[in-house]
Structure 1
């Protein structure tokens, strides 16, 4: 209460006019700073003085000189305008995808191959952005996106999920990794029968990718009997690199993990799979999520290249 009356509620716009006037000295210059008309500045100052019951400016020649009371009030509100500028800049950075935190979770075939490439490009122009990046099994990726603990999920999957949006980024087929000096490398494609005749490393059958390969063997009338069974395709690639047999893996793992001396051949029967981008249904994507997806998509259009350690 002031003098038995309720203190006036001063609008931020009036304070902006006051601050501009304190910096400019004339209503014309203040109007130019704010992008408004000179009469609007004069009217705003008059309204502010009326609400406060204080004379803020006195005319001296062609300039408006702030009173001692105006200087005291300006010292009070100056920090607020610094915070407002910071707030405005932060909002602009968020809107343009230049600030904030993005949480990404991926299955290994993408998380250990193309996703890091996308992150390099994504963060190069966004030093103010931080990323939480995790690589887990498919069921963990689905749970994380559904629960909201991750903003984006990346996976190889042919399934649909009722609580998730699933955007197909790329369609591809599994490939065979074989000894480049062995007989299978001389073939244009490698069949399930070919693999069954030699030691091979298999992905565990209850996983999605392992299930695809198991189905291909059954389609060919063969049992799925790998000499070594592993959980992850990257593990299978490493065992092939060490001469422990052939394997069927996704092409991203093949090109990024196979070392010299290992050949990559199409596998038949064809095992198609999709790279999908998973988001929580009913929750709009953030600008950061849109920006990362836009960075990731063109990478799938590029030819795969093998990277050697």
Structure 2
């Protein structure tokens, strides 16, 4: 017995007339009647008894109906799974990011993604730059988010935000009265610097050098998030990326443009060995939207 025949049997059991079954399946009434005759001939026994123009399944017919329910339940689950995949509502997403991006625009983007796709399972890790690149290349993560990516074989990338380093200090600090801050303006205050050898730390040193000001931090840290925390506590002032400056815990910091302009770009990375899934594409759009909401994109 074919799946189509089982579908007709099921409709007849549920509706008890060939007319109603035909309407349910979008077939003609004669097609249903002919199919029933063919099924009974093939089975070698009656599937229904006809009483007062209604069909009553025989015990054998009901046995086939009950046994076929598992098939239709599986089919319904498969149809639901297909809809979920089409709408990217379920499945998995593995992402990894460096701390500035992880603490800045990833959380609101994830919140929005999971609001519309509650059955989606997300794996999210925070690593240093080299760890993010390795995770994407080795397919541990589908998407990676970093600052200052300059290209690497095997990785596709896209700029999510092109911004500039900014100065952060407590509200009421003398530097908060300036429209923009230069290295010369920082010489009279304790400076929280980024470590030498990090992308942003080296970029910051080049900016100081370009205007003949010595880069002399009172405290050195690896991450901009740490620098923001120390600045908010009054330890000193810091030059950080715009993601770290605008993250939720730092809303009370005074943020001023830093000159000379020190560019910083946020990239999303993926392996060129595999195509981006619909879920990945959707999440990238959510990250862009989160950046706009935070005022990081125009």
Using structure 1 for the length normalisation, give the TM-score: 0.84
Q: 1:43 and 1:138 mapped to 2: Cα distance?
A: 68
Relative to 1, partners in 2 of residues 1:31 and 1:209: Cα closer, same or farther, differing over 3 Å?
farther
Relative to 1, partners in 2 of residues 1:146 and 1:40: Cα closer, same or farther, differing over 3 Å?
farther
Aligned to 1:4: none
Q: How many residues align?
A: 295
Residue range with higher mean Cα deviation, 193-202 or 147-156: 193-202
Q: 2:214 and 2:295 mapped to 1: Cα distance?
A: 31
- The question of 1:194 aligning with 2:185 is answered yes
Partner of 2:258, secondary structure, is strand
Q: 2:245 and 2:89 mapped to 1: Cα distance?
A: 34
Aligned to 1:7: none
Relative to 1, partners in 2 of residues 1:34 and 1:142: Cα closer, same or farther, differing over 3 Å?
farther
Deviations 1:184-217, CA, capped at 9 Å, x for gaps: 3232211123334532111122222222212212
- Which consecutive residues of structure 2, in runs of 5 or more, have no partner in the other structure? none
The offset of 1:46, in angstroms, is: 4.6
Residue range with higher mean Cα deviation, 68-77 or 97-106: 97-106
Aligned to 1:152: 143
- The question of 1:171 aligning with 2:147 is answered no
The offset of 1:268, in angstroms, is: 1.4
Partner of 1:168, secondary structure, is strand
- The question of 1:288 aligning with 2:271 is answered no
- The question of 1:103 aligning with 2:94 is answered yes
Aligned to 2:67: 76
Matches within 5 A, 1:105-144: 105-144=96-135
The offset of 1:16, in angstroms, is: 1.9
Q: 2:217 and 2:30 mapped to 1: Cα distance?
A: 84
- Which consecutive residues of structure 1, in runs of 5 or more, have no partner in the other structure? 1-9
Please provide the CA RMSD for this pair.
2.5
Using structure 2 for the length normalisation, give the TM-score: 0.87
2:80 pairs, out of 67, 83, 89, with 89
* Greater than 6 Å deviation, 4+ residue runs: none
Residue range with higher mean Cα deviation, 109-118 or 32-41: 32-41
